[in-house]
């Protein structure tokens, strides 16, 4: 067996990552995840509206949830 040097390991890892990203892009995973994410967000807001908690407290939670939805990574 031959040991790979660090640069070969890095290159192989990069190639694998690029391949997976290409597959995700072909399957339109990002858009599908956004749709499901929005569905859960809407469901959460609906549940929040059903709680008997002051509107001020709900507003803080809505702002927090909205910030989570808008974050970039």
Q: What DSSP line would sit under the chain, residue for residue?
A: --PPPHHHHHHHHHHHHHHHHHHHHHTTHHHHHHHHHHHHHHHHHHHHHHS-S-HHHHHHHHHHHHHHHH---
Percentage, residues of the chain above pLDDT 90: 68
Based on its alpha-carbon atoms, the radius of gyration of the chain, rounded to whole angstroms, reads 21
Give the predicted TM-score (pTM) of the model. Answer: 0.69
At 3, the pLDDT band (50, 70, 90 cuts) reads low
């Amino acid at each position: 067996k031959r040991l790979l040097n660090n640069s070969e390991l890095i290159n192989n890892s990069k190639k694998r990552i690029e391949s997976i990203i290409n597959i995700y892009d072909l399957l339109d995973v990002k858009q599908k995840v956004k749709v499901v994410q929005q569905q859960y967000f809407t469901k959460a807001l609906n549940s929040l509206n059903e709680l008997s908690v002051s509107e001020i407290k709900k507003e803080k939670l809505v702002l927090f949830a909205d910030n989570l939805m808008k974050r970039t990574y």
